[in-house]
Amino acid sequence: MSERPIRRDFASRPADPEHWIKAADVAPEHRPGAAFTARLTIDVTPELRGRIKVAAFRYGVTVAEMLRDLLAREFPPQSGDQP
C-alpha cells in the first residue's frame, strides 16, 4: 500500500510544540499585526458590506483600517483606561 501524504490542516498542531510556545515570547514589534490582539466579528447585510468596501476604496484604505479609525474616533480612551 502506498503511504498517505502528510496533510497540514489550518488547525493542525505544530510539529515542535516547544518552539511554537516559545515563539509567543517574541516582542510584538517583531510580529506583523501584533498590535491588534483581538478580532471583532459583526453581521451586516450584503448591501452595507458593499457600501463599506466602496467607501474604504474611495478613501484609499482597507476596510479594516477604516473601521479601526472609526472605532477609535467613536470610542476614545477614557481617563484611567489602560492603553
CB atoms within 10 A of CB 52: 15
Q: Does the structure show a pLDDT above 70 at 6?
A: no
| pLDDT tens-digit series, residues 17-47 | 677 666 656 565 555 555 667 888 999 999 9
Q: Please give the C-alpha separations between residue 35 and each of 10, 57, 73, 79, in angstroms, as whole numbers.
A: 23, 23, 18, 21
| In-domain check, residue 22 | no
| In-domain check, residue 3 | no
> Number of structural domains, the chain?
1
| In-domain check, residue 4 | no
Average pLDDT of every residue of the chain: 78
- 12 against 70, higher pLDDT: 70
| In-domain check, residue 83 | no
- Which pTM does this prediction carry? 0.51
Task: Tell me how far apart the alpha carbons of residues 19 and 33 are, in angstroms, rounded to a whole number.
Answer: 20
Residues above pLDDT 70, as percent of the chain = 57
- 24 against 68, higher pLDDT: 68
Give residue 71's domain range. Answer: 37-76
| In-domain check, residue 63 | yes
